[in-house]
A and B are shown apart, each in its own frame.
Chain A
Amino acid sequence: MSELPVLLGLLFVAVAATATVLVRDPVRQSFLLSVLGLALALLFLLLHAPDVALSQLAVGSALTPLMVLLSVRKVRRRARDERREEQA
């Protein structure tokens, strides 16, 4: 019974990580990546590693999604510009 939280944390990480790999659309993936980040932070805290949990939270909750979404925006804009040129 005392191992239940750790087991839940491990299961949560395994499911979130697998789902993140399986989803192909980058925007949806960025949402799953943030879930995975939170799951990992939870697991680290349950294993009494708050330093690592803090690192994971700092990187995973705003920085990684920002970089992914900015990259998506750049790629989208390029695709839109090319389409516009074809129509012209």
Chain B
Amino acid sequence: MSRRVRAWVLVLGGLGFAALFAAACAGLPHFGGDLHPYGDRAVRAALLRHTANAVASVNFDQRAFDTLGEESILFGAVLGTVVLLRQTRDENRRPPAPAPVAAPVRRYARLALPVTLLIGLYIVAHGQLSPGGGFQGGVVVATALHLLYIAVDYRALERIRPVGLYEVGDAAGEAAYLLVGTGALVAGAAFLANVLPYGTFNTLSSGGTVPVLNAAIGVEVACGVVVLLARFLDQAVEIEDPPADAPEGAAK
């Protein structure tokens, strides 16, 4: 196919897509209107399964398979970062000099760290009841740990952050999601079907598998973000570049 023909194919495809997309948009319910065909069905299904937060029900029950895809994307992204930002053989580590931090800031960090951690866990645990869930809470938990770098010292962070353990946690969270899905298969239902008892509406133990999957995501996201930031921090704070005259092949 010549360049010209390919360009024509692209134009044709683009126009076709634009026409179909415009037609589809014209068929959408109007913004802010009273007609919500999908929303009504999703909310009905959520209430049937005793999940107060309909969004959590869509994410972790009705469309739990999509969430598995999203979780895997994050997992893959963290893995890619770990490979790209690893310490190569000719790079040296130099422990960073302690940074001066004002005393009130340090006191605030000591207070804010447990509070932030608690808020993160609260957001994970209440995912089936109120806005939030594993992803949001997981990121908050990971950020809480990094208050130690921001407001105390890098070495304080390193002490509570054995990266290996968090790497295991990242993988375990990802695996737990798959295992819960497979558990449904064992119980005789479809993959990731909500097989657990639904519990009492609007209590912590409601929603069947929703809180379990939320917890799995929470572990995966919190550990994944810690591992991700650990690589960034290592590169920015500790690892030094190889000398410019190093032989080309040394980096491999």
A residues in contact (CB < 8 Å) with B: 3, 50-51, 53-55, 57-59, 62-63, 66-67, 70-71, 73-74, 77-78, 81-82, 85
Contact = CB atoms under 8 A, between A and B. Distances in A.
Given A67-B229, A81-B240, A51 B143 contact: no
Interface stretch (B13-21, B129-137, B189-197): B129-137
Contacts of B150: 66
B123 A63 contact: no
Given A62-B143, A81-B241, A71 B131 contact: no
Interface residues of B, number: 28
Given A50-B131, A73-B236, A74-B236, A58 B241 contact: no
Contacts of B123: 54
A30 to B, nearest CB: 14
A50 B32 CA distance: 17
Interface of B: 32, 53, 55-56, 123, 131-133, 135-136, 139-140, 142-143, 146, 150, 225, 228-229, 232-233, 235-237, 240-241, 243-244
A66 B145 CA distance: 13
Contacts of B244: 82, 85
B131 A63 contact: no
A82 to B, nearest CB: 6
B232 A67 contact: yes
User: Which of B53, B131, B133, B150 has the largest count of A CB atoms less than 10 A from its CB?
Assistant: B131
A63 B135 CA distance: 13
The secondary-structure label for the interface of chain B is helix
B232 A58 contact: no
B241 A54 contact: no
Given A63-B143, A63-B225, A54 B236 contact: no
A85 B131 CA distance: 53
Given A58-B139, A66-B146, A82-B244, A51 B236 contact: no
The secondary-structure label for the interface of chain A is helix
Contacts of B135: 55, 58
Contact of A54 (B131, B229, B235): B131
Nearest to B233: A70
B230 to A, nearest CB: 11
A70 B235 CA distance: 8
Contacts of A85: 243-244
Contacts of A3: 32
Contacts of B240: 77, 81
Given A74-B236, A81-B241, A58 B229 contact: no
A3 to B, nearest CB: 8
A3 B237 CA distance: 48
A81 B55 CA distance: 50
Nearest to B142: A63
B241 A78 contact: yes
B140 A58 contact: yes
A43 to B, nearest CB: 13
Given A70-B233, A81-B241, A82-B244, 19 more contacts: A51-B53, A51-B136, A54-B123, A54-B136, A55-B136, A58-B136, A58-B139, A59-B139, A62-B146, A63-B142, A63-B225, A66-B229, A66-B232, A67-B229, A71-B232, A74-B236, A77-B241, A78-B241, A81-B240
